[in-house]
Amino acid sequence: MNRFLTFALFALLFCSVSESSNLIKSDKPGDFDFYLFVQQWIYSYCESTSCIQSKIKEAFTIHGLWPENKNGSYPSFCSGPSFNVNDVKNLEDQLNIDWISLTETNEDFWSSEFSKHGTCAINNNNIVNGTFEYFQAGIDLYQKLNLTQALESENIYPSSKSISASNIVSAIQNQFGGKPGMQCEDSKLSTIAMCIDKDDLSIIDCPDLDGWSCDGDIQWPSKY
Ligand SMILES: *[C@@H]1O[C@H](CO)[C@@H](O)[C@H](O)[C@H]1NC(C)=O
Ligand SMILES: *[C@@H]1O[C@H](CO)[C@@H](O)[C@H](O)[C@H]1NC(C)=O
Ligand SMILES: *[C@@H]1O[C@H](CO)[C@@H](O)[C@H](O)[C@H]1NC(C)=O
């Protein structure tokens, strides 16, 4: 082998080794404090993201079930199985209603949510002990935590009028018995997260997390 070829081979080997070591993560599955169950208001979300038009409707939809720590850090891309749609076959019809992607195929969305968050959520000693159980937990929480219904029960409706962010927080707290986290874009409510106990999936108060509160008057928009 001539010298150049040897050098080229070494360079190739070295580069691929150092690249893959960037991907090795120390985050361990099951090592976190609680879950954030994250739902997005489609109208607000799709204002800043280019969404598939036919999927835009007046609703909150599931973004994800995310392992989170009290200090605001969170594990991601943990080791474990990769997403296999066969693992959720019996849930697929429901997932296609509840856990839709607004920008790509639903299956691609489930796959990316699972590799980033689901792999870290799974804990063998827990309710969420596999891929099926992870997505089942998401669906169950979505049915249980109907944000539209909760807000409407407190006489808050989607509207072009402003409402104070703290009124929305108290309304949800009244209905669900736990303090939510909230995100706004351009003073429009875009995301609500409920904090969920990792052992029994009950609702807990969200701690103060950076980036999870809205200030002042905001809108829960009734239009896209
Ligand atoms: C945050 O909390 C987690 C879990 O308790 C811990 O592993 C991590 O080191 C903490 N990170 C910081 C920046 O304090
Ligand atoms: C998860 O736990 C349930 C109930 O204990 C069990 O039936 C199921 O096989 C477990 N799933 C996995 C993937 O370990
Ligand atoms: C949530 O409640 C609203 C208003 O009551 C209802 O239209 C909607 O179908 C409910 N969503 C789910 C997922 O049950």
Is residue 75 pLDDT above 60, yes or no? yes
Angstrom distance (rounded) from CA 130 to CA 29: 11
Dump pLDDT digits (tens) for 196-210: 999 999 999 999 999
Is residue 76 pLDDT above 50, yes or no? yes
What residues are paired with 65 via a beta bridge? 37
| Contacts of 72 by beta carbon, 8 Å cutoff, 6+ apart | 209, 210, 211
What value does the mean pLDDT take over residues 51-70?
Answer: 96
Residue nearest to atom 5 of ligand 3 (CA): 149
C-alpha distance from residue 88 to each of 54, 91, 130, 140 (Å): 24, 5, 10, 14
Is residue 156 pLDDT above 80, yes or no? yes
Pocket test for ligand 3, best of 57, 148, 172 (most atoms within 8 A of CB): 148
C-alpha distance from residue 145 to each of 52, 60, 194, 198 (Å): 25, 10, 8, 16
Q: How far is CA 193 from the centre of its chain?
A: 8
**What is the whole-number distance in angstroms between the Cα of residue 129 and the centre of ligand 2?**
6
Based on its alpha-carbon atoms, the radius of gyration of the chain, rounded to whole angstroms, reads 20
**Please, how many CA atoms are within 13 Å of residue 222, restricted to the half-sphere of its CB?**
9
Dump pLDDT digits (tens) for 167-178: 999 999 999 999
Asked whether 175 lines ligand 3 (CB < 6 A), one says no
Catalytic residues, by residue number, are 63, 113, 117
**What is the whole-number distance in angstroms between the Cα of residue 143 and the centre of ligand 3?**
8
Ligand that comes closest to the CA of residue 70: 1
Query: What confidence score (pLDDT) does residue 70 get?
Result: 95
Q: What are the sequence ranges of the domains in the chain?
A: 34-219
Nearest CA among 211, 205, 209 for reference residue 190: 211
User: Tell me, which fold does domain 34-219 have in CATH?
Assistant: Ribonuclease Rh; Chain A (3.90.730)
pTM of the model: 0.88
Angstrom distance (rounded) from CA 191 to CA 60: 8
Ligand that comes closest to the CA of residue 87: 2
Residue nearest to atom 2 of ligand 3 (CA): 149
What value does the mean pLDDT take over residues 17-32?
Answer: 61
